[in-house]
Structure 1
Amino acid sequence: MRLTFSALIAGLVASPAFAAGDVFFSLNNTDFIVLLAFILFIGVLFYFKVPSLLSGMLDNRAEGIKSELDEARALREEAQTLLASYERKQQEVKDQADRIVTAAKAEATEAADQARADLEKSIERRLAAAEEQIGSAQAAAVKEVRDQAIVIAVAAAKEVIAKKMTAAEGNALIASAIADVDSKLH
């Protein structure tokens, strides 16, 4: 501090006001009064340690800014990590949704194929049942026609036999039929 004060005084002594030759150290000289006030002001600043206070405040402010920058950097890194995490989760959810859609399509296709196969089996069963009913109805119709034909043939034969046959021939025919049945049963 003494070195700077000495340098200041030496700088003032070598000023152009000294070179002019007028009396500089007079209280009537305004330049001298301003110089004294300035030196006094600088002295008061140094006495109350204002430069060190200012540099301390600037250092504190610089440290505060540095800590805010570090905090901002840490928050940025945390935000980037969080963003990456959310992007990863979003991709996982998208992949899961794609798998669900694919599985649903596969299940729908499988269900449609199964329904088609069940429908074909049902149609085959119904066709078989219908054919069976038709065959049964046809067999019943054939049996009914045969039965009717037998009834008509028996009636016609009875009538023809009744007209051409005598009582003795009828008794002989009945005995022959009984014997024939008896031989077939035993």
Structure 2
Amino acid sequence: MEDSLFPNTNFDSLLSKFNHEWETPLAIAVALGHVFLASDLLERCHCMRLRQAILQQDKDGFNALHHAIRNRHEDLALKLIEKEPLLSQALSNYGESPMFVAVMRHFTKVSSKLLDVHDSFDRGKYGRNALHAAARNGNSVIAKKIMEKRYWLAGQADMAGNTPIMLAVTYGKIDVLGVLL
């Protein structure tokens, strides 16, 4: 890694450490929007096989992928999924999977990439799933991709008993309703 931010530095033990909020250096870099640094740390952790440093969830249950999506760093999110697909299986303390957050943010590429991860979680808060989020937001492109890969989500009701179809009707999202039907 000659072009690395930290050439010839042996700090693998520091990369694995987390602070009192359970944040690793990678998670902190992502959360604070230091994309170049986060990319470098991700590459180092991946090369050194410091898997737990990549997967670590903070005190709120967010991992580096959650932070990348929440902070609108789409390219970094794609890189995180590529290097460590297991990031897609984390749920925050609020019950949000990275896929749910990506759909809420209208991140089509990230949502598609997460759908390609066979066992990625699609759950969201209030018992909703990624298809509920697409219906609520009126995103027919993502709804179609979800229906192609996980059609069974259309029949799942949230804690209030609403299915994605019911949300599409409630919010007048006709394009999404057409996809769901």
Query: Which has the larger Rg?
Result: 1
Q: Could you say which structure has the greater relative contact order, defined with CA pairs below 8 angstroms and 6 or more residues apart?
A: 2
Instruction: Mark yes or no: TM-score above 0.5.
Output: no
Instruction: Give the TM-score category using the shorter length.
Output: under 0.3
Q: What is the TM-score with the length of structure 2 in the denominator?
A: 0.17
Q: What is the TM-score with the length of structure 1 in the denominator?
A: 0.17
